[in-house]
Amino acid sequence: MTASATSAKPREVRDSVVIRFAGDSGDGIQLTGSQFSAASALAGNDTATFPDFPAEIRAPTGTLAGVSGFQLHFASRDILTPGDRADVLVVMNPAALAANLKWLKPNGILIANADSFQAKNLKMAGYGESPLEDGSLADYQLFQIDLSRLTNDALQGFGLSAKEVERCKNYFALGLVFWLFARNGEMVEDEIRRKFASKPVMMEANLKVFHAGWDYGENTELFALSYSVPAARDIAPGTYRSIAGNEATALGLVAAAHKAGLDLFYGSYPITPASDILHTFAGLKEYGVRTFQAEDEIAAICAAIGAAYGNQLAVTGTSGPGIALKSEAMGLAVMTELPLVIVNVQRGGPSTGLPTKTEQADLLQVLYGRNGESPMPVLAARSAGDAFDTAFEAARVAIKYRVPVVLLTDGAIANGAEPWRIPDVDSLPTIEPNLLDDAAKLDGGPLLPYLRDVETLARPWIKLGTPGLEHRIGGIEKWDKTGHISYDPQNHHNMVKLRQAKVDAIAAEIPPMHLEGAPEGDVLVLTWGSPYGAALTAVRELQAQGRAVTHANLRWLNPLPLDLGALLLKFRTVLVPEINNGQLVKVLRAAYALDIQQYNRISGQPLSVVELRDAILNVLPH
């Protein structure tokens, strides 16, 4: 039997739906959410997801600290955010309700696992009386489902322990919402068969429970109608898949290595929320990827620098605290002018901060957080799919200019998934590593490891192991051209200027700013990183109301695009929303001496469309 998309009940068509699953971190919420998300994408919806999980791996069951959430926005049009508030909230216990009710729209559908609303769980969640009974949920469409009992009923005769039965209940909930939104269950069934291939009884049990959830929706009188969200039509043609930012980052770098004909070296120390990049790379050895799980963050980047010296595409990845530890070695890469990509998946800070929550507060750290004049190109991805292109670009620039490059993503991009139009490998640009690999290329002249390319100012990347090209590099100031140690005052001045000029020169190849809206007007909303989606959505809403608002996003944070300064002057007001205390604003004010407005909320959560619309309205002329 297959849970199909047919139903005998009336079906209401919706343009877009936001659904939020919440439960204990052991309830399989992330799995449930991502499977629903994948099925929606396969059904042709545009989707955007936001996993919202606790730092604790398994906080005590039933507590507020242990609540894990997964929000999914799926729509029959192009969407850019996981949605501000939910149309549907599925809660597995009272703590999940207490922590997530604030995200549910008035009159939204609330599906509660009624079995779990017992005295002990209610107390842990801070409830006196059960909110299911005391009328406090009157503003919502409340559906009380005895998930545990129904799961248990479905599994009579399977001979499973109570604990094993309890672990199946998320598939009951998933089956029910699949029915509710007319999703095809085949993909889930395949996934269950794959996941439990070695445990036939659990495979059958989960399939049974998934179907039981579907049938419950179809047969019980509780639900009078179901919903459908038709396939989106305004999406660019192509082949799509669902991808999360960390995986996209890894794939972008593997693609760059492939296009450069280089092997890839990834040095990393496990850190939330960047570890999935390491996990992805570890499974890609057939692509010439070597991973080094280092003893610490410093070793991770230093090993990558060693691999860069050894002519591989070298990458290190971490989050903000790791960047702090890598800073000295980042300076070494600047000084030795070696290609290196440094990925920073930003999280809440300072210090340990909020490891599983998102933030954009490392911009100034990566721009300026090193000793000496230590300029480094910095790029930021705006979404999960965009992380592929931005990572590819970071690697291309690192190789072309022989510089360390920082790629910024953040927790929301790293873990959030969205449909991604898969690029044709043949259409990706070739990267020319241009190694100096033969002493004959010196034409009888001396080897000059710091001789500069006229156009890029890049020094040669010398192929190690080549006879006659033995040379020494290091962190001490270099004589230009020869690369010998130099304490000469004028040479140091020249080299500081050269290293800066090399980074500045990259601006010449940054494409013109892409504008969503008119090239002049009342307000320019300028974003970088993950606020892109919410800001663009808010701008589009206001444009539909006839307001003179334009949106632009910066992929390049250093150097800044050459046409940015002139663009800013074309608008009465420039508004920069960021999940920090105003870091890009400081950079722009310093670069252009303009009075730029800022909007900041630093709560570990993505910025919402509603708050950005309000923030724009605030600066629009009344």
- Contacts to another protein from residues 242-261, by CB under 8 A: 242-243, 251, 254-255, 258
Rounded CA-CA distance 530/514 in Å is: 17
Binding to another protein (CB under 8 A): which residues in 446-475?
464-475
- The contact mask relative to another protein for 149-188 (x = CB under 8 A, - = no) is --------------------------------------x-
Residues between 404 and 443 that touch another protein (CB under 8 A): 421-425
- Least Å distance, CB 252 to another protein, is 10
- Nearest of 578, 564, 568 to residue 612 by alpha carbon: 578
Stretch that binds another protein, among 108-116, 120-128, 286-294, 567-575 (CB under 8 A): 286-294
* CB nearer to another protein: pick between 132 and 232: 232
Tell me whether residue 23 or residue 331 sits nearer to another protein (CB atom): 331
Which one-letter DSSP state was computed for residue 234? Answer: S
Shortest gap between Cβ of 243 and another protein (angstroms)?
A: 7
**Nearer to another protein among residue 44 and residue 353 (C-beta):** 44
> 214 is written with which tokens?
């579907």
369 contacts another protein (rule: CB under 8 A): no
* Closest residue by Cα to residue 31 from 230, 210, 201: 210
Q: Is the dihedral of CA 581, 582, 587, 593 positive or negative?
A: negative
Order of all β-strands in the sheet with 597-600:
515-516, 549-553, 521-527, 571-578, 597-600
Is-cis flag, bond preceding 449, omega within 30? Answer: no
Distance CA(366)–CA(320), nearest Å, equals 9
Element (H, E) at 526: strand 521-527
**Residue 265 near residue 304, CB atoms below 8 Å:** yes
CB 23 within 8 A of CB 97: no
Measure the CA–CA gap between 389 and 380, rounded to whole angstroms.
10
Which of residues 242 and 580 has its CB atom nearest to another protein in the complex?
242
302 binds another protein (CB under 8 A): yes
Q: What is the footprint of another protein within residues 18-77 (CB under 8 A)?
A: 38, 41-42, 44
Which residues from 197-226 bind another protein, rule CB under 8 A?
none
Could you say whether residue 294 binds another protein (CB under 8 A)?
Answer: yes
Chosen residue from 9, 123, 199, 241 binding another protein by CB under 8 A: 241
Asked if 165 contacts 140 with a C-beta cutoff of 8 angstroms, the reply is no
Considering only residues 15, 133, 295, 509, which one is a binding residue for another protein as defined by CB under 8 A? 295
Reading phi first (left if > 0) and then psi (alpha if -120 to 50, else beta), residue 159 is in: left
Nearest distance from C-beta of residue 123 to another protein, angstroms: 43
Beta carbon nearer to another protein, 154 or 329: 329
Closer to another protein by Cβ: residue 251 or 560: 251
Residues 526 and 102: their CA atoms lie apart, in Å, by 29
Q: Of 144 and 466, which CB lies nearer to another protein in the complex structure? A: 466
Residue 284 interacts with another protein (CB under 8 A): yes or no: yes
Piece in contact with another protein (CB under 8 A), picked from 324-332, 560-568, 577-585, 591-599: 324-332
